[in-house]
Each structure stands twice: as C-alpha cells, then as structure tokens.
Structure 1
Amino acid sequence: MGREFIDIFEDWAEDYDHAVSGHDPQYKAVFADYENILHEVAKASYGNVLEFGVGTGNLTDKLLQAGLQVTGIEPSPAMREIVREKLPEIEVVDGDFITFPNPTIEIDTIVSSYAFHHLNDVEKEQAVRQFAEMLPVGGKIVFADTMFESNVVKENIIHDSMQKGYTDLVDDLNREYYPIIDDIRNIFERSHFDISFKQMNDFVWLIIANKK
C-alpha cells in the first residue's frame, strides 16, 4: 500500500477521525456520507474478511458489528496502535496491499476503504492478481475509494479545490494515484472478476468485484 506515503499515514493518525466526521472543510466532500459508505462495504461482505488499510478501525468496527471475522492489515504503527486501543479483540498486523502475512484461514472477502489509491497502476494490477489467487470462486473484493469517471472530471475537481483554497486536498489529488474508473475496470477484468461501481459521493465509489 504505497509505503512511500507512510509519513502521511503517521501524520493523519491523530486527526483522521476528526476529518472523517466532517470537521475539516477541505475534506468534507471526500468524507460525505462516510458512515453509510462503510455500512455499504460491510453489507456487501461475507464470511472471513481480510481488510487492507485498516487505518483507525472505523470500517473494521462495522464489519465486526455485522458478525464477520476480520483480519486487519495496516502499515502505519501509529494507526495500528489506535485500532488496538479501540478494538482490542481484533488482530491487526503490519503489511500492505502487496506484502502481507499469509492469512491462516480461507478468505471470502477482501475489503478496503480510502486506501487503494495509494498504489500506482502497476501495483494495483499486482495486488488484484494476488487477490484473485487467494480468493475462492465467488469470493469478493469490496472497496470504497476515491476515483474519477474521467481525467476531465478529476482536473475540474482539482481546479475547484484550488479556487476554494483547499491546498492540502489539492496536494493529495496531485500526489497520490487516484484512478479513472475504466482503468480500474480493466485491471479487475484482466484477473477474471465481474465488477460493478456505485458512486457514493463526489469523490468516492463503491467497487464490488466477484471472482468468476
């Protein structure tokens, strides 16, 4: 999961829950309808769940409330510490989308929220190939992440954010690997997934992919 961004994860750890609650104007649109987004990921998941980019454990909590067994992967030591305090019953281990400990149980669903964009396109492809090898037929990938319908839409959002003075958000949009939907569709289809998209807010889309 884009280990080059680890310093950003560490800096965000203490403030992340404040931002997702809508208290940071720069990120209010990014996290609009946040609780429902996490609910939709949990609702689409089943069985034994492997969660990448656990962050501060907000999606993890929703998955546990849904009665699912969760193994968490998180590269940030600061965020792992927060999750262990919030949810001491959950196992959260060091790892990322590419390099992570092999699960000790068969995984039915792989989930993530607000994290897959930290991988470049080559890494995204590599990660999805690995997931395809891990999941059984009918296994699912359920991601909620920032992506855009086209480069034009992305550039318009960057321009609007600059006009509003949202310099931190603009820096994020220019620095990280926010994908175009058609590129994501192609990556998943090349690894033999059926995939659907649902827009959740101006930035975030829900991906549900089923292994053929």
Structure 2
Amino acid sequence: MGLEFMPIFENWAADYDDEINGGNPEYQAVFLNYWESLSVITAAAGSSILEFGSGTGNLTEKLVAAGKQVYPVEPSPEMRAIAREKTLLKDVTFLPGDMEHFEKPLASIDTIVSNLVFHHLTAAEKEQVIKQYNQLLPIGGKIIFGDTMFLSQASYDKILAAVKSAGLENLAADLEREYYPLIPEVEAYFSDNGFQTTYQQMNRFVWIVSAEKIMEAE
C-alpha cells in the first residue's frame, strides 16, 4: 500500500483527528463531509468487514457501533495505537499490513472497505488488489472505497490549478505526488474484475465507489 508514504502517516498520526474536523484550513475542502462519508460506507457495508488503512479508527468505530464484525488492517503503529484508545475499539484487534500484504481473516467476509487509502497504490497495484479481493468475496459481496478521484484529466488539471492559485502548497504537493485515479480508470479496475459499480460524490475531491461482485474474476 504505497509504503513509501509511511513517514507521512507517522508524522500525521497525532494531528489526524484534529485535521479531519477542520483543524487545518489547507485541507478543509478535502475533509468536507468526512463523517457523512463514513456513514455512507457503514450503511452500505455488510456484516463481516475487512477494513484497509483503518488509521486512527474512525471508520472502524462507526462500523463497530453499527454492530458489524470488523477486521481492521493498518500499517502505521502510531495510528494503530491511537485507534486502540477509542472506547468502542479497546477490544478490537488492529492488524499490521496494507492493501496488498495482509493476513486474511479466518472468518468469511462479505465487504471490503477503506477511506482515503486507495490512492496510495500505483495503477498496477490498484488493478492487482481488485483482482485479489474478488477471490476473497462471495457473489454479492461488496468493495466500498471512499477516496479522492477525478472525473477526467481535465477535471484534475482544473482543480490542481485552483489549489495552486489559492496558495495551498501542501495540498498541491499531495495531488502531484500521490496516485489519485480518474473515475474511468477506477471503473475499469472493477468492471474488468467482475464488479458492478455506483458512485457518490461527497465533496469536490472525494467520491465513494460501491462495487458489487457479480462474477468470478477470470
């Protein structure tokens, strides 16, 4: 899962929960409707869930509160430690690992979720993990990802230019450094691997893709 970004996670862990609640003006537009996004993912998820990039445990907490069985995977020890301090998560086991390298739960799962994680994978890695997840899910199982995506290259270019014009240097650097996909690319990853998708836009940057497995991968 883009482990080249691990230093960012380590440095961000202590401030992450503050930033998602608007503590950093530079990222307010990215985190707009953050909690609503988690609610959308939770409502669409099944009962037995593999969560990637659980971070400080915000989505995990929503899923647990909804009575779902969650198997969270997070590469950052710093973020796992913060998550374990949250009241509903004290008895949850947070596993080390990432979207590519993880220990499969012994129990059957019907849903795979993540929020603001998928963009850490390169295009080839994105395609590979979707194929891998197809093998973990039954027919009717779901993958639900919230992440920054763009409708087209032109849309990305326009938003990046606006971010730079506004002087949001760190956000601009993120947009140029990480592997934010175009929605037609995301659609291809899923449709080529046996999934049918729907999309919901949560803010200028973030979309939720909900993909249902309709056939086995070739």
1:55 corresponds to: 55
2:144 corresponds to: 142
1:149-164 → structure 2 map (5 Å cutoff): 149-164=151-166
Structure 2 counterpart SS, 1:16: helix
Q: Give the Å deviation of 1:153.
A: 1.0
1:6-25 → structure 2 map (5 Å cutoff): 6-25=6-25
| Structure 1 residues not aligned, in runs of 5+ | none
Q: Give the Å deviation of 1:161.
A: 1.0
Q: Give the Å deviation of 1:12.
A: 0.8
1:82 corresponds to: 82
Q: What do residues 162-205 of structure 1 show as CA deviations (whole Å, max 9, x unaligned)?
A: 11111110110000000000000000011100011111110000
2:28 corresponds to: 28
Distance 1:90 1:63 in 2: 12
Structure 2 counterpart SS, 1:70: strand
Q: What do residues 106-129 of structure 1 show as CA deviations (whole Å, max 9, x unaligned)?
A: 011000000000001100011101
Aligned residues: 212
1:186 corresponds to: 188
1:95-114 → structure 2 map (5 Å cutoff): 95-114=97-116
Picking from 114, 117, 137, the partner of 1:115 is 117
Structure 2 counterpart SS, 1:93: coil
Q: What do residues 64-114 of structure 1 show as CA deviations (whole Å, max 9, x unaligned)?
A: 111100000001110011111122121111100100012111011000000
2:96 corresponds to: 94
Q: Give the Å deviation of 1:47.
A: 1.4
Q: What do residues 146-170 of structure 1 show as CA deviations (whole Å, max 9, x unaligned)?
A: 0000111111111111111111101
Q: What do residues 16-41 of structure 1 show as CA deviations (whole Å, max 9, x unaligned)?
A: 11110012111101000111110000
Distance 1:183 1:209 in 2: 14
Structure 1 runs of 4+ aligned residues shifted over 6 Å read none
The residue type equivalent to 2:202 in the other structure is M
Distance 1:15 1:151 in 2: 31
2:202 corresponds to: 200
Structure 2 counterpart SS, 1:36: helix
Distance 2:104 2:201 in 1: 32
TM-score, length basis structure 2: 0.96
Query: What fraction of aligned residue pairs are identical, expressed as a percent?
Result: 47
Q: Does 1:66 align with 2:69?
A: no
Distance 2:48 2:90 in 1: 18
Distance 2:70 2:91 in 1: 10
